[in-house]
Structure 1
């Protein structure tokens, strides 16, 4: 199928407004005539700008390679001094790969926390979108368009002698075949054992399907990979959209496994005051010890817990409470198959250290870890004070202090409160998606540092700054800097929504605005930190962050002028072959009671009001990512016309008609 791309920003706001007004007027003037519908692929707002991304930059002969140290990277030795001349490829400094590896694991844990919070935000959105306002008042049908103005056109009188067309009786929507089967494909995402492809009946959840299988077949449905722990099934290969096991299956699905790399740790059969958690060193990271990332101890089933362990945690908790009276520190004892972190969890005991303050742990006390019940059992018969029993708290069914900010199931909202809550969760999810991209970038850089062990010069020039490994800059400035001495370069900025899509070594097509020169440039460096000067915000989405990059003009740039603006395009960005994301133009999305709908043509050629699920906004803010409810092949009507309703007749239109050409 040919997918026509429409990049918002090429079409001016005035043209968009005129187009929307034309749809509105055209639908109103048509009386009872068929409603024009347009194919969703023609209404796509491009996500990142389609398969080809367009940016701008400036030609310069004065660039620098700035080496910033992220919190995942530790330097062991600097091999150059200020004033040294270096050529491209020379080694500038070496990383402490051992410490960087530990920091890398910490950042991977941070990524897991972000993904957990994304799951919570998605669950909150699901709850809110299924909540009815308490007022029960009908929704205001007037659309809210931040970027589009649709004038109210007067009703056109009927022509003399024209008989009104009879109202058609809407055809009933055919019921879905209750015996229809859908195919579910389990994809190991590049790791682990071979997984089955199976079929389930429509409306059946994956949990229900699994419960129909004999126990001896369960193993083939459970992913396993050496050195990793399975982290759940997701609808996308990047593992950002979780698939609930209780969700009814309504379409063919491909589910991707998420893998969590595990540390090497030895299971303990005894815990004392000298036992250390297997979390990587956090070096002051306040996130360690939270409910989402507790201090973790790998133990054997039946492991003995000594008083020195419990009392050590109690004393540490007392010290923390002196400075933070509301603080909580969590620790977890976990038992795994094979006493290995690669094994499945058999049971765990999760405890808030604050609760240990209610009792004493004398020398004769012993605790025994019981994996079957997830508790720590006392071995001495001393009655503990009321409420002081050190029983674990389940991550899923605790007292509500989950740390994930999950909303209650029975929340009550007015219409305005509901709309505000939905916007808040959408903004939170959008922010978390960007946090995830930044975490992925840090992980990629740290993995590169561990793999290569060194930083090489990416340009030829002079070393302007060389930092001290023992006292790296704390003000966010570059640790090491090389300034260029020859050649032409281009400075540009990558939109945060494209972060991770472009990489060093990618080629850019350059077109100069003034000289008209066309050439190629290779991306040499992408900064891990966003630009704070605002120089890139005038192009594209002003509210987005931009990450500076430099590209070297390899050939064909002899006629480029210094400080000349250029247009940059790349065809390097590609999407998962399973299906490029559809970003539907907001003008074709109807919002009522906090839910979003479209009017699409059904199999009988009639309009049908269809609820949809949306994700993030496109990079230009003109379209919503469609997660469910609309496909590329669907035909959609402008939802605010007078005759747009369930059962209305339709006719196929074109984008030329939309814009009045």
Structure 2
């Protein structure tokens, strides 16, 4: 019994001590808060009202969804296939342009693809031949024969070594796909090109001769080539110019650079001249087989053919793009309806409209649309799918409409018939809304439009620094009627910039708020009014 009394007494003493400590802590916290003073500033001094956000604008009723076709000034009109009042389906041809030259252009692009495909096929066959070729044992060089790669066999009897020399045609622009009439690219038997007197050699061919890949890296020792100019541009003519190029000594060049054949010895680069390319010879070059090829020769030849194939495949891709572009231009010759509807406007061949007027207008039979502009201050409050309302000027007919499109670019002053407040210093953004029930509405009449924003309140802007966020809740520290801080929830909208945020509810312009950070940002702290003027 005596033991139980002692335990009870100890428990009571412990509880008393805890109560005293808790009361002391609470008293200390309350006392500390009473000693703190939070500086509060008037919302009206910190922020500003949204004077420009009127929530209203003006607009124009449009008949409904439509398609307007304007004539292309770069094309010749051939035929108009509809007349006013016709009913059309999506895909119907409305008008056609002259397309003969466009068809020829498409055929030319297709021919280029066919020619390049043939060259690729020939090069692949040539590559396979060298891959399966049995190499010969290299012969020992004769001691009396000078090994001078810069002086290959240069006699004028070369025509006698070429089958059908009369078929060799002088080339105006020698590029990577041009065929040499003789040689295998070695120092003793270089590629030979017959060139016109005003001929050029492209940087693309120089890169191939230099052994460069597409990234400008020299991946092999290069090839040798001789560029000749002969009298009469025929192989049997007297030699006028003869220049040997060692590919291993060539720098990497831009593909479209051109060097005059006459200036090859000085390598003076001419400006790129936009002139037609010579048609490439699709016949694979003949390879001398009298002495055969060593393994090194075969490897060099395989590398060279692979380089040529890369160039041809790249050219083929460019040809495909050119064909697609030409086909699109041809498709534009037949202008088709993009929607089902009625032809409400249609010009005629005898009296074509001006460039700013449509030749054909197709209108949908369902619903109507209202178009207008919204100021930059209301722009962030307007959303696609939002319902707006309005009244027409002529009949006063009330309507509702759903926003279908809001432009991300401000309009010019001449873009629309009706505008918002008309402040020349404010940007206005066009929008379109669909009117499902268009009863009593007339095409083209003006209307007053009400834009329904958040809670029907224009709101005001407050510096973001005075608004804190806790999860999805925004709040401010506000002075209450008792003169101390309280934590108050606020409803916010879009930011006007990186400094201000829009406040819709929770506080007013008459309230005083404190900076929501630091030791004084606590509920119950006494408040002291403060303004920037007090610093001066």
| TM-score over 0.5 for the pair | no
Q: Compare CA radii of gyration and give the structure with the larger one.
A: 2
> With structure 2 as the length reference, what TM-score do the two structures score?
0.30
